[in-house]
Amino acid sequence: MPGFVLRIWLADRPGALGAVASRIGAVGGDVVGIDILERGDGRVIDELAVELPSEDLIPLMLSKLGELDAVDVEDVRAVTGGVLHPVVDVLEVAAEVLAQQTVGGLFGALVEGAVTAYVAEWSAVVDPEGPTVLGATPEAPPAPWLEAFVTGTRSAAREPRAAASASEVAWAGLEVSGLALLVGRSGRPFRARERRQLATLARIADHRWRELVMREGMRAHPARSS
């Protein structure tokens, strides 16, 4: 059956998700996956992987969900190539990053993998001190925009009580290298679980970057490694 992902807001209370699943089942749909993206202030944002007998049933399903109290559908998108597995997808990117044998290969695997794992439109690795874009997918914004975004976001993060807000661009710092990983998509803001996952992926990439730089340094100066 055709697969879809619903990003949905609902009340953070017992039975709320069951009511949603019941309405989806009433139109012949089946909830085959649940991912909790964010919760707070009495609300929770979930992504539900749903199979429907036909795409034509989407309007009816949305109508049924609209009858529920405190339920809002933020986004519906079709899924190709099987059901998404957010945790596994990011782990696969991490494994690919760790397998790279050059810094260039590392950045390439990181930006391509981030686009795939987050169903994003673009990704880039930026050195804000350079200023240099070290790796980017073809759809990434121009280098000056990327550099300005990282600089501005880092300055804002230093302010007391600064809190992460929903944005269509997520970023994470590679603390050892001083670089930043950016991922962008339109129409679906990044939520808490996704930002935390991206930060973990950035730490893994940072660790591999340090290993590769040290290895290349020892090759360039073999006497120092003896």
Same fold flag, 3-79 and 86-222: no
Q: Under DSSP, is residue 134 helix (H, G, I), strand (E, B) or coil? A: strand
**pTM beyond 0.75, yes or no:** yes
Q: How long is the chain?
A: 226
How is the chain split into domains, by residue range? 3-79, 86-222
Q: What is the pLDDT of residue 131?
A: 67
Peptide bond into 131 cis (omega under 30): yes
Placement of tokens 């991206």 in the chain: 198
Region for residue 55 given its phi and psi (left: phi exceeds 0; alpha: psi -120 to 50; beta: otherwise) = alpha
Does 3.40.640.10 match the CATH number of domain 86-222? no
Q: What is the pLDDT of residue 165?
A: 54
Q: What residue type is 84 in one-letter code?
A: L
**CA-closest candidate to residue 50, choices 118, 115, 2:** 2
CATH class entry, domain 3-79:
alpha beta
The per-residue pLDDT string of the chain (226 residues; one tens digit each, 9 = 90 and over) reads 778 999 999 999 999 999 999 999 999 999 988 989 999 989 999 999 999 999 999 999 999 999 999 999 999 988 876 556 667 788 999 999 999 999 999 999 999 999 999 989 999 999 988 768 999 999 999 998 998 888 887 766 554 444 445 689 999 999 999 999 999 999 889 999 999 999 999 999 999 999 999 887 666 655 544 4
Q: What is the pLDDT of residue 92?
A: 93
